[in-house]
Amino acid sequence: MAQAGTILFLPGDGIGPEIMEQVKRVIGWLAARGIEIAVEEDLVGGAAYDRHGTPLTEETLDKARRIGTVMFGAVGGPQYDDLPFEKKPERGLLRLRKELGLFANLRPAIVFPALADASSLKRELVEGLDILILRELTGGVYFGEPRGIEELPDGEKRAVDTQVYTSPEIRRIARVAFELARQRRGRVTSVEKANVMYTGVLWREVVQEVHDAEFPDVALGHMYADNCAMQLVRQPKQFDVIVTDNLFGDLLSDAAAMLTGSLGMLPSASLGAPAADGRRKALYEPVHGSAPDIAGQDKANPLACILSFAMLLRYSLDLGAEADRLERAVAAVLEKGYRTPDIAQPGTTLVGTSGMGDRLLAELDASVA
Ligand code: IPM
Ligand code: MG
């Protein structure tokens, strides 16, 4: 049997465990066909807090560093809302991103033909849509110092967050954007607010320099973030690769996700810089959250998680053909009209989380029959 690699499973909270269960079934399916992926599993987020009093233990972080490839479910839930900032489930995820140096966050927004009517936009605006939001993930206002809330002498309070970028941080994410665009339709839109923010001025300048010096073959445009939000819902097909900072990327990728009909469909990959052996540390996660309101009810859509796993196969295990196979199986299941509640439409067949997994495995079987 071919040993394809080892991955760390961090299912997390809410619907995390049940959608990750469907990924495990796909891993089982691959193993039965001679592609063995070893899985280690651990706690993260609220689940880790409940057990260990912290959303990410040092042991888990070490494991993630050693294994290098993480498949992540979702974190968070209302029972953790009142915890101090550093104990919140989300800190577990943010710490993994930062400590593993996962600066490049790929968020593709692809409209499956069968789902073009599930979008809140008209079919003709989204049919065939295939854009990639590349979000800088380890810098900007998410991590900038100083940050915090202080008490003022007069008893009032003052809160500070710091938006900060250095030219090397901008340069390395710009390079990833241009490299990805070369494999796609050759167009990059760089997004900031150079009209009001110094970080935006530097961002625009550095992206342009990298383009002119190394990627003159790629078409580059610059856009203000507010205009980009508007253009995304006005004429989304004008975009190919959008590269932007941590906070704007957070906002714009949610908007782009909705163009596809459901947040439940959007995968993501977060990649680090290549090491000496060419391997990148990486974390794969669905863009949607832990959806505590439907957790444990077999209602969650596992497809974003499955599609994230397809990205893992492609980028971390060099199993591009299996990634393609999995993505085709997802398209086929949708084509046949199977839908979880979040993407249900009149005339389609409602299935639950595990039912969607059943359909997917049936398509995988059919693909090798
Ligand atoms: C995302 C999420 C996270 C973020 C939260 C859970 C910290 O919204 O991955 O987009 O803001 O980055
Ligand atoms: Mg977000």
Q: Whose CA is nearest to atom 5 of ligand 1?
A: 90
pTM assigned to the model: 0.92
Q: So what's the architecture of 138-244+251-259 in CATH? A: 3-Layer(aba) Sandwich (3.40)
**Token digits of residue 253:** 């990728």
The finding on whether 99 has its CB within 6 A of some atom of ligand 1 is no
CA 265–ligand 2 middle distance (angstroms): 14
CA 252–ligand 2 middle distance (angstroms): 9
C-alpha to C-alpha distance for 62 and 56, rounded to whole angstroms = 10
Other beta carbons less than 10 A from residue 30's beta carbon: 21
Given the residues 62, 212, 217, 226, the one annotated as active site? 226
Tokens 């073009």 belong to residue: 116
Residue to mutate, 83, 250, 253, ligand 1, most ligand atoms under 8 Å from C-beta: 250
Say which CATH superfamily domain 1-121+261-369 falls into.
Answer: Isopropylmalate Dehydrogenase (3.40.718.10)
Q: Where are the domains of the chain?
A: 1-121+261-369, 138-244+251-259
Residue 88 annotated in active site: no
Q: Which of 326, 327, 319, 315 is nearest to 35 (CA)?
A: 319
Given the residues 13, 42, 245, 250, the one annotated as active site? 250
Residue 63 annotated in active site: no
The finding on whether 136 has its CB within 6 A of some atom of ligand 1 is no
Asked if residues 222 and 239 have their Cβ atoms less than 8 Å apart, the reply is no
The pair phi, psi for residue 321, each rounded to 5°, is -65, -40
- N- to C-terminal Cα separation, the chain: 20
Contacts of 252 (CB under 8 A, 6+ apart): 133, 191, 225, 228, 229, 232, 242, 244
Query: What are the CB-based long-range contacts (under 8 Å, 24+) for 195-203?
Result: 195/224, 197/163, 199/140, 199/163, 199/164, 199/165, 199/245, 202/165, 202/167, 202/170, 203/165, 203/170, 203/245
Bridge partners (DSSP) of residue 12 are 74
The pair phi, psi for residue 35, each rounded to 5°, is -110, 105
- Determine which helix (DSSP H) or strand (DSSP E) holds 209, and give its type and residue range: helix 198-214
CA 153–ligand 1 middle distance (angstroms): 34
Bridge partners (DSSP) of residue 166 are none
Bridge partners (DSSP) of residue 50 are none
C-alpha to C-alpha distance for 59 and 306, rounded to whole angstroms = 27
3-state secondary structure of 263: helix
The pLDDT profile of the chain, 369 residues, written as one tens digit per residue, is 568 999 999 999 999 999 999 999 999 999 999 999 999 999 999 999 999 999 999 999 999 999 999 999 999 999 999 999 899 999 999 999 999 999 999 999 999 888 888 888 999 999 999 999 999 999 999 999 999 999 999 999 999 999 999 999 999 999 999 999 999 999 999 999 999 999 999 999 999 999 999 999 999 999 999 999 999 999 999 999 999 999 999 999 989 988 887 778 889 999 999 998 888 999 999 988 999 999 999 999 999 999 999 999 999 999 999 999 999 999 999 999 999 998 898 899 999 999 999 999 999 999 998
Given the residues 49, 142, 315, 338, the one annotated as active site? 142
